[in-house]
Amino acid sequence: MTAFDRDTLIRVALTPDDTIHAPAILGDEIHRAVRATPQRRPWLEVPRLGWPLQHSPLFLILLLAMLLVLLLGSLIVLSRLPAPARLTTYHGGPERTGVMAGPGPQGHPVIAWEAQRNGAFRVTIMPIVAKGRVFVADDSGTVGALDESDGDALWEASVGSPIRASPVWVDGLVVVGSDSGAVVALSETDGGEAWRFVAAGPVSASLAAVERTVYVGSEDTHLYALDAASGQLKWSLPVGGPITRGPAISGGVVYVGARGGRLSAVDAAGRATLWSVELGDGDVGTPAVSEGVVYVGRGIEAPAASPHDLVALSTHDGSLLWSFVSPAGRQVHLGAVGNDLIYAVSEDNSVYGLDRGTGRVVWGHETEGRVGSLAALVDGVLYVSSTDGTVRALGAATGTLHWTIAVEGEPTMPAVINGRVLVGTTRGKVHAIGGTEVVP
Amino acid sequence: MTIHRPGSAAATAPALVGAVAIIERAAAGDAESFDLLIRPRLDRLFRMAFAITRNESDARDAVQEACVSAWRELPRLRDRERLDSWIAQILVNACRGVLRRRRRVQVREIPADEISPAASARGRLVTAGPAEATGEVDAIRRAFERLDSGTRSLLVLHYVEERPLAEIGRILQAPVGTIKWRLSRARRALDRALEVEQR
């Protein structure tokens, strides 16, 4: 016998001997198993027609009609599906009522993930959320996008100077103001700069966006309206003082406060100032607008003798409806606007539930630290951040403490969405607080 | 030693024209027709499963599992003329599943991508005379049992079943170029396993 070649050796080795055959009963076993097994049928069975029929015009027309019906059905179903939850604007939306998309965490609170950023977060800032991404802006001038599910950094971009206010998300862009006066729009996907507008003074007030217009308040005393897609200036109006708190927008009117105490209602098209009221010394807080009433804190950083209260004003003419002064006379901000109550957060370390019609105190809740920022309201639960390094959930009707959780540093204003509470901290952390129960 | 060469699909299976009608009836839920399809193929399927698993009991399990899967999925088979390739594909997957579950053989399987060129050069098969060849054949069988299930399947389809590369590509769902590359890698894996076996 001649030498075996390599492939023949392998073939000989791997080929079963002639004695290897299927057992005689295997066919019967399979037959029995098959009879006991149902077949899986395709959900749509196209009849197997012969060549001429399968390619006949009638068959093709029927097939096209079926596809059209399927397409239309899919479009109808898709149009009725709820849109993915977003939280694109500081304090929940352009009305700044603090009512957020939710839902909040269910069960006991746990830190779902945390991420370290380059700079600290001002407590008056809020993470914003769109398309499964969390957008944060910090003191170092860096804007970052994090994966909403696990906090992984997706991109970051520097705008060149410190950021003291929340960005706004509009049509795929993250728009942010900075101390240099630059307003920069970054692509949500990769942080690439889409456009840049430069105001004459710092932009430290949170931005707002309505109908593809971005509203920017600057410390140069002007309110600017920019085209969201291009950054082109649509109009600007002087409001009588530096703007340090974000404007609220409702019903085609922009409500904006200015240092020096003036609150103005401006036509959102920029045609005119509808009314303005002088609220006394100091700064005016971020207004919130709901059902014909503007709620705003006044006397921020004003001398002790000045009023430091929360006022309710008519949207019609700015006339005073009621005022709430905290028992200790400390500064008060609007926390959130509920159906029956509104919620005030005070620098006397307390949160108050107030009767919406009169401003009378219904309940109070004291924390160990100053309540450093505005609150979030979701499904009857009020979420507040405190300078004692905690985030708390209170029953909105009674002020009962549901839970409290510690974070690393002083937390920013909470963003409540998709079963989690998102906060930044003064130590540059971003925490996602989830619950032990799965949110559907 | 006799080399059993399996007949072509046409020789062992019913003539195609008649077979298509039987397949249609089986796909419509007729178990007797499915029996007519499977029985003539059973021996070939069993030998293929044995070649991959090197164990009669495992081969039996794999063939039974594959045949029941083929019955269940038959209504979804669009290209009825490729029944043989399709069943072979199911059988290869069944063999992989059986081997994964088995883990009875305590030797470590060697994935093909762990093979270094130097190692494969050392363990390369060489030509030999008949006496040496018998020893080599046994060593190759033992080496084969060290390979992972994917490499085993590829070698069996090529060396035992002698299926064309295009058909192997259909069964393993990979382009012909990839199959060629995998085959070369599988040979090196066998060389490496042989080297381990001959230490």
CA distance A27 to chain B (A): 6
List the single residue in A3, A14, A34 with the smallest CB-CB distance to B159: A14
Query: Does the beta-carbon distance from A4 to B1 stay under 8 Å?
Result: no
> For the domain bounded by B112-198, which CATH number is listed?
1.10.10.10
Cβ within 8 Å of A, B 146-175: 155-156, 159-160
In chain B, residues under CATH classification 1.10.10.10 are 112-198
Give the pLDDT mean for B73-94.
88
Picking from B141, B135, B140, the residue whose alpha carbon sits closest to that of residue B191 is B140
Highest-confidence segment of A50-54, A149-153, A181-185, B128-132: A181-185
Full DSSP string of A254-292: EEEEETTTEEEEEETTSS-EEEEEE--SSEE---EEETT
For residue B3, name the pLDDT band (cuts at 50, 70, 90): very low
Q: So what's the pLDDT on residue A437?
A: 66
Highest-confidence segment of A110-119, A202-211, A365-374, B181-190: A202-211
User: Does A66 or B197 have the greater pLDDT score?
Assistant: A66
Q: So what's the pLDDT on residue B77?
A: 85
Query: Does the beta-carbon distance from B50 to A30 stay under 8 Å?
Result: no
Inform me whether the C-beta atom of residue A43 falls under 8 Å from chain B C-beta atoms. no
In chain B, residues under CATH classification 1.10.1740.10 are 13-102
Inform me whether the C-beta atom of residue B101 falls under 8 Å from chain A C-beta atoms. no
Q: Give CA–CA dist A299/A282, Å, rounded.
A: 5
Q: So what's the pLDDT on residue B108?
A: 46
Q: So what's the pLDDT on residue B12?
A: 41
Inform me whether the C-beta atom of residue A44 falls under 8 Å from chain B C-beta atoms. no
Q: So what's the pLDDT on residue B116?
A: 46
Specify the pairing of strand A401-406 against strand A390-395.
antiparallel
The pTM (predicted TM-score) of the whole model is: 0.59
Residue B167 has pLDDT above 70, yes or no: yes
Give the pLDDT mean for A149-162.
90
Residue B122 has pLDDT above 70, yes or no: no
Q: So what's the pLDDT on residue B148?
A: 87
Within 8 A of A22 by CB-CB distance, chain B residues are 42-43, 45-47, 60, 63
Give the pLDDT mean for A352-380.
86
User: Does B7 or A222 have the greater pLDDT score?
Assistant: A222
Give the pLDDT mean for B139-167.
92
Query: Does the beta-carbon distance from A3 to B155 stay under 8 Å?
Result: no
Q: So what's the pLDDT on residue A56?
A: 67
Return all residues near A434 (Cβ < 8 A) that are at least 6 apart.
Answer: A105, A109, A110, A111, A112, A419, A420
Within 8 A of B75 by CB-CB distance, chain A residues are 39-42, 45
Q: So what's the pLDDT on residue B121?
A: 38
Query: Does the beta-carbon distance from B42 to A26 stay under 8 Å?
Result: yes
Query: Does the beta-carbon distance from A11 to B159 stay under 8 Å?
Result: yes
Residue B117 has pLDDT above 70, yes or no: no
Residue A55 has pLDDT above 60, yes or no: no
Inform me whether the C-beta atom of residue A46 falls under 8 Å from chain B C-beta atoms. no
Picking from A101, A93, A138, the residue whose alpha carbon sits closest to that of residue A420 is A101
Q: Give CA–CA dist A289/B36, Å, rounded.
A: 78
Inform me whether the C-beta atom of residue B68 falls under 8 Å from chain A C-beta atoms. yes
DSSP class of A105: -
Cβ within 8 Å of A, B 3-32: 3-5, 24, 27, 29, 31
Highest-confidence segment of A297-311, A328-342, B44-58: B44-58
Q: So what's the pLDDT on residue B113?
A: 52
Q: Give CA–CA dist B22/B14, Å, rounded.
A: 9
Residue A388 has pLDDT above 90, yes or no: no
Q: So what's the pLDDT on residue A439?
A: 53
Residue B9 has pLDDT above 60, yes or no: no
Give the pLDDT mean for A407-426.
93
For residue A91, name the pLDDT band (cuts at 50, 70, 90): very high
Give the pLDDT mean for A360-373.
80
Picking from B167, B139, B138, B136, the residue whose alpha carbon sits closest to that of residue B154 is B167
| Mean pLDDT computed over every residue of chain B | 79
pLDDT more than 70, % of chain B: 75
Q: So what's the pLDDT on residue A367?
A: 78
Give the range among A122-131, B78-87, B158-167 with minimum mean pLDDT: B78-87
Give the pLDDT mean for B48-66.
94
For residue B17, name the pLDDT band (cuts at 50, 70, 90): very low
Residue A116 has pLDDT above 50, yes or no: yes
List the single residue in B1, B27, B34 with the smallest CB-CB distance to A12: B1
Give the pLDDT mean for A95-121.
90
Picking from A149, A143, A97, A92, the residue whose alpha carbon sits closest to that of residue A119 is A143
Q: So what's the pLDDT on residue A319?
A: 94
Could you report the per-residue pLDDT of A284-305, keeping only the tens digit for each? 999 999 999 999 999 888 777 7
Inform me whether the C-beta atom of residue B105 falls under 8 Å from chain A C-beta atoms. no
Q: Give CA–CA dist A417/A438, Å, rounded.
A: 13
Domain at B13-102, CATH class: mainly alpha
Q: So what's the pLDDT on residue B107?
A: 43
Give the range among B2-16, B32-46, B102-116 with minimum mean pLDDT: B2-16
User: Does B10 or B81 have the greater pLDDT score?
Assistant: B81
Give the pLDDT mean for B53-70.
94
Are A187 and A143 within 8 A, CB to CB? no
Diameter over CA atoms, chain B: 56
| Mean pLDDT computed over every residue of chain A | 89
Inform me whether the C-beta atom of residue A32 falls under 8 Å from chain B C-beta atoms. no
Within 8 A of B60 by CB-CB distance, chain A residues are 22-23, 26
List the single residue in A18, A26, A48 with the smallest CB-CB distance to B60: A26
Residue B126 has pLDDT above 50, yes or no: no
DSSP class of A109: E
Residue A343, SS3 per DSSP:
strand
Q: So what's the pLDDT on residue B101?
A: 77
Give the range among A100-109, A283-292, B5-14, B173-182 with minimum mean pLDDT: B5-14
List the single residue in A10, A26, A27 with the smallest CB-CB distance to B159: A10
Residue B59 has pLDDT above 90, yes or no: yes
Residue B15 has pLDDT above 90, yes or no: no
A135: which 2 tokens?
């957008």
Q: So what's the pLDDT on residue A97?
A: 95
Q: Give CA–CA dist A417/A128, Å, rounded.
A: 10
Query: Does the beta-carbon distance from A33 to B67 stay under 8 Å?
Result: yes
Picking from A182, A262, A173, the residue whose alpha carbon sits closest to that of residue A209 is A173
